[in-house]
Amino acid sequence: MALIALKIDVDTYRGTRESAPRLADLLGRLGVPATFLFSLGPDHTGRAIRRVFRRGFLGKVKRTSVVGHYGLKTLLYGVLLPGPHIGRRCSAQLQDIARRGFEVGVHCFDHVRWQDGVGRASEPWTRRELTLARDQFTEIFDRPPVVHGAAGWQVNHHVPALEGELGFRYASDTRGTGPFMPAGDQSAATVPQLPTTLPTLDELIGRADLRGVEPVDHLLAVTAGALPRDHVFTLHAELEGGAYLPSFERLLRGWQERGVRLTDLKGYAAQLDVARLPRCGIVAGTVEGRSGTLALQSQWKK
């Protein structure tokens, strides 16, 4: 039976307060586990305007209605409005997600700062950002985090070793084909990578090769092959917990009807034999439907 682990990236203050609880309601109603990864510091979403010069970014804005999904106020945080501190102002919402039985973990401290800065950052900078996120998580949940999923699938060669040093047991920082141990420059790593293996809903919208095909139908077809395999599916609270909520519910029900076992990253990691995982490098590359370069498993096959 195929297994699909659900990873929910929560990027913003609004997403934490409104969208994550909405997703938790849906998942609870359907009896589906998932891992919520939270941004825990200030919401500086407005500073992402610098990405306007990145190839493909304007196309994404047109396809996915960024203002509609995130809200105008969110797009002003860190530019014309002070960025609210998510961990301090949303601790009740964060704790409630955990109380409902969902796995919770670290996405980042400052989402925009990590996504735009980590690629060229030093070891001290990277250590500081991960430590800030870990410590904020520990303050909120009264226990240290065990799972990290890098914001925007952005890492540098310091990240894998630091994850082990800071107490993370598994991570989902990359895009790829299946679980692996980081190798090469990341040879000191002890934390297995559980890469996102499926396209996200927003990456499928507007793709020229999928005209006339609903993103949900495409995902159901991709995961229903003659030789089904395990996957990690990433969703974003601001999208699937907002305008895409009906589509996400249809996707979940479709998987359930097909006998797919839905789980969280904890459940996925628990059934792995870490000693037998392949060693793969982490390289920079592109993914169709998403702007910029991402951290990819070196065995990535498009």
Q: Give the pLDDT confidence of 19-76 residue by residue, as tens digits.
A: 999 999 999 999 999 999 999 999 988 866 654 445 544 454 445 556 555 656 667 6
Instruction: Determine the pLDDT at residue 228.
Output: 77
Its pTM surpasses 0.75: yes
pLDDT in tens, 171-214: 999 999 999 999 975 557 899 999 999 999 999 987 888 888 99
Q: Flag whether pLDDT at 78 surpasses 90.
A: no
Bigger pLDDT: 159 vs 291? 159
| CA gap 172, 6 in Å, rounded | 11
Instruction: Determine the pLDDT at residue 61.
Output: 46
Q: Flag whether pLDDT at 111 surpasses 90.
A: yes
Band (pLDDT 50/70/90 cuts) for residue 77 is low
Structural domains present in the chain: 3-297 (3.20.20.370)
| CA gap 280, 195 in Å, rounded | 12
For all residues of the chain together, what is the average pLDDT? 90
Task: Please enumerate in sequence order all residues whose Cβ is within 8 A of that of 113, keeping only pairs 6 or more positions apart, or say none.
Answer: 44, 47, 129
For the segment 126-154, the average pLDDT, to the nearest whole number, is 99
Name the β-bridge partners of 42: 85
Number of Cβ atoms within 10 Å of the Cβ of 228: 16
Band (pLDDT 50/70/90 cuts) for residue 130 is very high
Angle subtended at Cα 23 by Cα 22 and Cα 27, rounded to the nearest 5 degrees: 125
pLDDT in tens, 239-293: 999 999 999 999 999 999 999 999 999 999 999 999 999 999 999 999 999 989 9
For the segment 227-239, the average pLDDT, to the nearest whole number, is 93
Q: Flag whether pLDDT at 128 surpasses 60.
A: yes
Q: Which of 36-45, 129-138, 146-155, 223-232 has the lowest mean pLDDT?
A: 223-232
